[in-house]
Amino acid sequence: MLSAVLLTLHIGAGSVALVTAVIAVFTSKGQKWHVRSGRVYAIGMTLVFLTAIPLALLGASIFLLLIAFFSFYLVFAGWRFARNRRGIPHAVDWASTAIMLTTGLGMGVYAGVLFSSGDSQWVTMSLFAGIAVALGVADGLYHRLRRATGGRRISRHLTNMLAGTIATVTAVLVVNVETNPPWIAWILPTVVITPFIVWWNIRTGLQYRSARQG
């Protein structure tokens, strides 16, 4: 009964997060709908995280537990960069970054366990471990150097939020589509959407550079 209730809440929150993520992506930054949909998205992903932890523990799934921490950090960090306009990190920023790095290292270790057992999901864990460590290090450097202001702050906000959107799309794809091997469904959204994140960061950087020069 508990698992059924948690799963229902998990799916409902994930569905809301997916819809609001799409709205946030296709509305202009700072506009009413972008801000409101972003807030609902963050709330939805928080509920996804809070329900994913007991579901993973009840199912004794280290894999899903690591994914839950990984996905939630992306959204939380993206929200923090949106809120922290001065770029001065707080204790919660350092703590969340440390958790992300720990999660990334844990993913790397677990990828080795999966590989040694012949489980093809070691591919997924390896990819996500690399992303987790890379983003954790990048965010940590921005905090240390206090560089997350202006265009750089928006860049970190976009990178983390869009990465969180990848996690949301991945969850929907994995649940509804079977692939052989299974890791294809897990990494496909990352492969498809990551170039879009890179393009958006370049575009944002050029816009802010042009605004300063003008």
25 or 15, greater pLDDT: 15
* pLDDT for the residue numbered 47: 92
For the segment 189-203, the average pLDDT, to the nearest whole number, is 86
Residue 206 has pLDDT above 80, yes or no: no
* pLDDT for the residue numbered 30: 73
* pLDDT for the residue numbered 4: 87
Per-residue pLDDT tens digits for 77-111: 999 998 898 889 999 999 999 999 999 999 999 99
Per-residue pLDDT tens digits for 107-126: 999 999 999 999 999 999 99
Per-residue pLDDT band for 200 (boundaries 50, 70, 90) equals confident
Listed in sequence order, the residues at least 6 apart from 105 whose beta carbon sits closer than 8 Å to its beta carbon are 129, 133
Token pair of 11, please?
């799916």
Per-residue pLDDT band for 15 (boundaries 50, 70, 90) equals confident
CA 133 – CA 58 distance, rounded (Å) = 27
177: phi then psi, degrees, rounded to nearest 5: -130, 130
What is the average pLDDT score of the chain?
88
For residue 50, the tally of other CB atoms under 10 A from its CB is: 15
Per-residue pLDDT band for 211 (boundaries 50, 70, 90) equals low
For the segment 137-163, the average pLDDT, to the nearest whole number, is 89
Predicted TM-score (pTM) of the model is 0.86
CA 86 – CA 143 distance, rounded (Å) = 11
* pLDDT for the residue numbered 61: 86
CA 177 – CA 189 distance, rounded (Å) = 12
For the segment 199-204, the average pLDDT, to the nearest whole number, is 80
